Structures are given as structure tokens and as C-alpha cells.
């Protein structure tokens, strides 16, 4: 008996704890990963969904073991994150949700969406919107919502709009935090989803898992191939398949893929773990990341994430191996 | 001499007439035999794990599918379909297939184009639907020589990107 107690005590004492912070988009999947990996290893993960920008700052300051960001490292200039590498570990999309009483389907093109966020289209009955949707829309002002915190969803969304609209690129640009000329700020995906739910006439960009969890509709966005696609599993995977190479930096941006990717959803995005290669709990961190990139990928589709393509996985695992 | 020539001419005319009759009858028979018929099938296909893999990735980017095929038509009926597919950059589901029936097999190819998905929901994230073309390129046994006269229509739906329920309608000869 005493030997068993001693064994349990030793196991408890050796259980490691990892701390992470960042992207709200990856948070639902990260929670599943943490629980499953914890069950396998006896270790635990505490994750704070504070937004991609804050996650980056926390890992750069050494406050956590890993950061999580939907925007790549190249977006952040300060503070410097010494010896940090980015590892793609999730593949999903930013949906464009809307709340117009009685409307379940909405077709949007990129330039039209840009005009809404530039404040040039202000009412749902605008002829451009009615033409795209083939029917009358209500005389209702459009309430625009955007993320007030530093967000990877904002990065993917503004990167897409900058790609498809010269005026948007010039006036707003793309980053994790931008100055939208119109709209109301909301913090995190949860508040964005809540804002859409509570406001008739609203439009907002929301990570797919939050959008589905809140039973919100997603607009079908016209891709470069001319098709309207919603951010579902196949459309996200099709966007990822359009990009074959993985650069040494692991930065893989997949918004607005080529016209040949006819089934792709154009605001799809990778999300990254950001870790220092000289981590204080290197072995434990490697174990957790290997799980996320291995068995953990199977949990993705149930939580509205697509599995990473093999080429990306191979490169990501190699990078995990470089953590000391 | 004149009689002989006339007899020969009569013989040639008679042989020619006979040949024309036989050829005409043959053509009529051939026309009857090759008149196209419509084949309709229902298939329930499942993607299977590749080598060294215990399960199918969602969504599969290529591989093999198997499942029962129920086709209305002579020599068809209940059978099994096996196909090999890939998903190129366009996102189409492109492949070749065999359908095995007790009377023989038919083979062909398909190209399915993803259709606009239903509104996104907790149950529709992995759903997809396709519409495209299907062709029959040959057969064996009593279905030997079976070919489609032109590409037919194939439609599929899937709740999870792994299991497909399909229908196909195609005109074939003989």
C-alpha cells in the first residue's frame, strides 16, 4: 500500500504544467488537445484565450510556454521574440456572419464586402447586395462589427479584403489591428458572435467554430474561381491544397487562393503555435506539440477545423524536433 | 454467247440484290441491337483507409471507395462498385470505377463538381454535395462492349466527406 501511495505521489510530483496564451480561434481545439494529451501523459495545459496579439506579447516576454496566433510571426515587429519559431497546428477559416431577420442565405463578393467595411454600402437594400442575392433585401441599416483586440481573424479578414479591393488596401490595409472607418469594436470571437446575435442588421467576421457554436449563419463568399463557398470542411481544405510549398519560416498564408481552386473558401487560415527553441520545458512542450500534430488532428473536423495537409504536417513536426 | 452474258448479268444482279438484302437486314439488326438504353444506378460508397493507415482523413484527398450499387437494366441489378479517385486543385472528385454484377462488369469514369453547400450549422460543417458527369467506357461478360453514348449525370451527397450516396443516369449501348 505504501509503495502504491509512493508511486502515485511520485507521478503527481513529476506531472508537468504548460501554460499557453493567444488566439481565441484555436481555443476550442486547444482545450480538447490539452485534455486528451493530459489524459495520456498525466501532464496539464492551461490556456488563456486572450487574442493572437496578446499571445504573441506573452510568449515574447517569456510569460508562457507557448503563444498561439492566427497571424504569422512576420506581422509582429515588437517586442522581439528571441529564438521563436512558428508551427502551423490548426487549419480553419474566418466566416462572415450576419443577422437580418428571416435571411438564412447571403451571397457576397470580396469587393462588396470591402465596401461594407469601408462604409460605402450602408443599407441591406443596396442594389449591389440585392443584385448578388437575386431578391429584395430589407430597408435596414448595416451594423458593422470588428475586433477591437489584436486578432488573427482581423489579420486574415483584412488580408483578404486588401487582396480583392485596392481602396481597402489603401485606406485600411492588413494587420492584426487596423483602423476601420466604420463600425463598432467587440473583443474576442465570443463578443463578436454575441454582437451579431443581439443586433438585427449586423455583419461581423467570426471564427468558424464560434459561428457554428452560436448557430449563426455564414455568408457564401465568391472565390477567384467565381463560385460562392461557405467555410465548411471541404472548402477550407481546398484552400489549403491550393498552396503546395511550405517555406522555411513555416508561414503559410492561404487567403484568396488562385482561380483554379474553384471550391476553396477564400478567407481560410492557418493558425500557429509560437515557441522558443530554447524552451524551459522543452521535452514536455515537444510532447504536447507532437500530440497536436499527430492524434490531435483527428479531433479537428468535429470542432470545425480541417486537418493539416501532409506537407505542412511534416515540416511542422520537423520544427518541433528543433525545440531544445 | 449473248445468252451467257445475259445469264451472267442476271447472276450479278441477283447476287447484288441478295447482298443488299443481307446488308440491309444486318444494318437493321445492328441498329436494333445498338439502340441506346437508359441505365439508372444508386450507389452507397465509403472511402477506405489507405495503406498503413487505420482511418480515413476528413476530407480524403484521394484513395478508393467501395459500396453496393443497385442498377436498373438488363444484366445489371444488385452489384458492387469500386472506384479510385483523386481531388485535384479544382476540388472536383475525379475518378475511374468498376461495377461488378453477376452477368459481368462495366467500367467508366466520373468527374464530380462540388455544389454550393447548405447554410453552415453544427451538423453541416462536413457535408458536401456534388453534381457532375459519368461515362461508361467498356464492359465484360454479357456486358461486353457496353459504352455510354454521351456523358450521363451523376449526383452525390455526403454528410461527412467519407460516405457518399450517389445516383447516376446514363445512356448506353448495346
pLDDT digits (tens, 9 = 90+) for A214-234: 999 999 999 999 999 999 999
**Is some CB atom of chain A closer than 8 A to the CB atom of B122?**
yes
Distance CA A36, CA A43 (A): 10
Tell me the pLDDT tens digit for each residue of A241-258.
Answer: 998 889 999 999 899 999
Share of chain A above pLDDT 90, in %: 88
Contact list, B116 vs chain A (CB under 8 Å):
220, 227-230
Indicate if the pLDDT at residue A7 is higher than 70: no
Indicate if the pLDDT at residue B21 is higher than 70: no
The residue of chain A nearest to residue B161, with distances taken between CA atoms, is A234
Q: Do B89 and A261 touch (CB under 8 A)?
A: yes
Contact A20, A64 (CB under 8 A): yes
Contact list, B128 vs chain A (CB under 8 Å):
232-234
Those of residues 24-53 in A touching chain B at CB distance below 8 A are: none
- The reported pLDDT for the residue numbered A5 is 43
Indicate if the pLDDT at residue B32 is higher than 50: no
Indicate if the pLDDT at residue B30 is higher than 80: no
Contact list, B87 vs chain A (CB under 8 Å):
238, 241
Distance CA B100, CA B150 (A): 21
Average pLDDT, chain B: 83
In a mutagenesis test of the A interface, which of B59, B126, B156 is the best target, namely the one with the most A β-carbons within 10 Å?
B59
**Is some CB atom of chain B closer than 8 A to the CB atom of A134?**
no
* Residue, of A49 and B27, whose pLDDT is higher: A49
- ipTM score for this prediction: 0.79
Contact list, A306 vs chain B (CB under 8 Å):
58-59
Place of cell 479510385: B84
Using CA of residue A238, residue A243, residue A247, residue A251, what is the dihedral sign? negative
Determine the straight-line distance between the first and last CA of chain B, rounded to whole angstroms: 52
For the segment B84-109, the average pLDDT, to the nearest whole number, is: 95
H-type helices in chain B, by residue range? 2-33
Tell me the pLDDT tens digit for each residue of B35-61.
Answer: 899 999 999 999 998 887 888 888 998
Q: Do B120 and A264 touch (CB under 8 A)?
A: no
| Whether pTM exceeds 0.95 | no
Q: Do B90 and A215 touch (CB under 8 A)?
A: no
- The reported pLDDT for the residue numbered A4 is 44
Indicate if the pLDDT at residue A157 is higher than 90: yes
Q: Do B125 and A233 touch (CB under 8 A)?
A: yes
Tell me the pLDDT tens digit for each residue of B115-170.
Answer: 987 788 878 899 999 999 999 999 999 999 999 999 999 999 999 999 999 999 99
Angle of helix A152-164 relative to helix A110-117, nearest 10 degrees?
A: 120
- The reported pLDDT for the residue numbered B110 is 98
Indicate if the pLDDT at residue B99 is higher than 90: yes
Nearest CB partner across the interface for B161, out of A208, A212, A233: A233
Lowest mean pLDDT among A72-86, A187-201, B45-59, B149-163: B45-59
In a mutagenesis test of the B interface, which of A99, A193, A226, A232 is the best target, namely the one with the most B β-carbons within 10 Å?
A232
Residue B90 distance to chain A (closest CA, Å) = 5
Residue B94 distance to chain A (closest CA, Å) = 14
For the segment B86-93, the average pLDDT, to the nearest whole number, is: 92
- DSSP label at residue A84: E
Report the greatest alpha carbon distance in chain A.
79
Q: CA distances (Å), A53 to each of A56, A149, A270, in order?
A: 5, 8, 15
Amino acid at each position: 500500500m505504501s509503495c502504491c501511495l509512493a508511486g502515485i505521489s511520485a507521478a503527481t510530483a513529476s506531472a508537468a504544467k504548460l501554460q499557453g496564451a493567444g488566439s481565441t480561434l484555436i481555443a476550442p481545439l486547444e482545450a480538447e488537445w490539452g485534455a486528451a494529451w493530459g489524459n495520456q501523459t498525466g501532464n496539464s495545459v492551461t490556456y488563456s484565450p486572450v487574442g493572437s496579439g496578446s499571445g504573441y506579447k506573452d510568449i515574447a516576454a517569456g510569460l508562457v510556454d507557448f503563444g498561439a496566433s492566427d497571424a504569422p510571426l512576420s506581422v509582429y515587429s515588437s517586442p522581439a521574440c528571441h529564438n521563436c519559431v512558428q508551427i502551423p497546428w490548426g487549419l480553419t477559416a474566418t466566416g462572415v456572419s450576419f443577422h437580418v431577420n428571416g435571411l438564412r442565405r447571403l451571397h457576397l463578393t470580396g469587393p462588396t464586402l470591402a465596401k461594407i467595411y469601408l462604409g460605402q454600402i450602408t443599407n441591406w437594400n443596396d442594389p449591389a447586395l440585392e443584385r448578388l442575392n437575386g431578391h429584395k433585401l430589407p430597408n435596414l441599416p448595416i451594423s458593422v462589427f470588428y475586433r477591437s483586440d489584436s486578432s488573427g481573424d482581423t489579420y486574415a479578414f483584412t488580408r483578404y479584403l486588401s487582396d480583392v479591393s485596392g481602396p481597402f488596401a489603401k485606406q485600411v490595409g492588413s494587420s492584426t489591428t487596423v483602423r476601420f472607418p466604420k463600425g463598432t469594436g467587440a473583443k474576442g470571437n465570443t463578443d463578436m458572435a454575441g454582437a451579431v446575435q443581439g443586433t438585427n442588421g449586423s455583419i461581423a467576421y467570426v471564427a468558424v467554430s464560434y459561428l457554428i457554436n452560436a448557430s449563426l449563419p455564414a455568408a457564401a463568399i465568391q472565390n477567384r474561381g467565381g463560385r460562392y463557398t461557405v467555410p465548411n470542411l471541404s472548402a477550407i481544405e481546398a484552400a489549403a491544397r491550393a498552396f503546395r510549398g511550405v517555406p522555411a519560416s513555416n508561414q503559410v498564408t492561404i487567403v484568396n487562393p488562385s482561380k483554379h481552386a474553384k471550391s476553396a473558401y477564400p478567407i481560410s487560415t492557418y493558425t500557429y503555435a509560437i515557441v522558443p527553441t530554447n524552451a524551459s520545458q522543452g521535452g514536455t512542450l515537444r510532447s504536447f506539440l507532437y500530440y497536436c500534430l499527430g492524434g490531435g488532428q483527428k479531433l479537428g473536423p468535429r470542432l470545425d477545423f480541417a486537418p493539416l495537409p501532409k506537407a505542412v504536417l511534416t515540416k511542422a513536426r520537423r520544427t518541433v524536433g528543433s525545440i531544445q | 454467247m449473248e445468252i451467257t452474258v445475259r445469264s451472267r448479268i442476271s447472276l450479278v444482279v441477283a447476287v447484288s440484290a441478295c447482298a443488299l438484302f443481307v446488308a440491309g437486314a444486318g444494318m437493321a439488326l445492328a441498329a436494333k441491337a445498338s439502340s441506346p438504353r437508359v441505365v439508372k444506378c444508386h450507389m452507397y460508397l465509403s472511402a477506405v483507409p489507405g495503406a498503413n493507415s487505420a482511418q480515413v482523413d476528413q476530407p480524403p484527398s484521394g484513395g478508393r471507395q467501395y459500396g453496393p450499387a443497385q442498377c436498373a437494366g438488363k444484366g445489371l441489378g444488385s452489384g458492387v462498385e469500386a472506384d479510385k479517385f483523386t481531388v485535384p486543385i479544382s476540388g472536383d472528385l475525379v475518378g475511374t470505377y468498376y461495377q461488378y454484377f453477376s452477368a459481368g462488369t462495366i467500367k467508366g469514369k466520373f468527374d464530380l463538381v462540388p455544389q454550393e453547400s447548405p447554410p453552415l450549422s453544427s451538423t453541416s460543417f462536413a457535408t458536401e454535395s456534388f453534381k457532375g458527369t459519368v461515362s461508361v467506357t467498356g464492359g465484360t461478360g454479357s456486358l461486353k462492349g457496353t459504352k455510354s453514348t454521351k456523358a450521363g449525370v451523376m449526383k452525390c451527397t455526403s454528410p461527412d466527406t467519407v460516405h457518399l450516396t450517389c445516383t447516376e443516369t446514363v445512356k448506353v449501348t448495346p
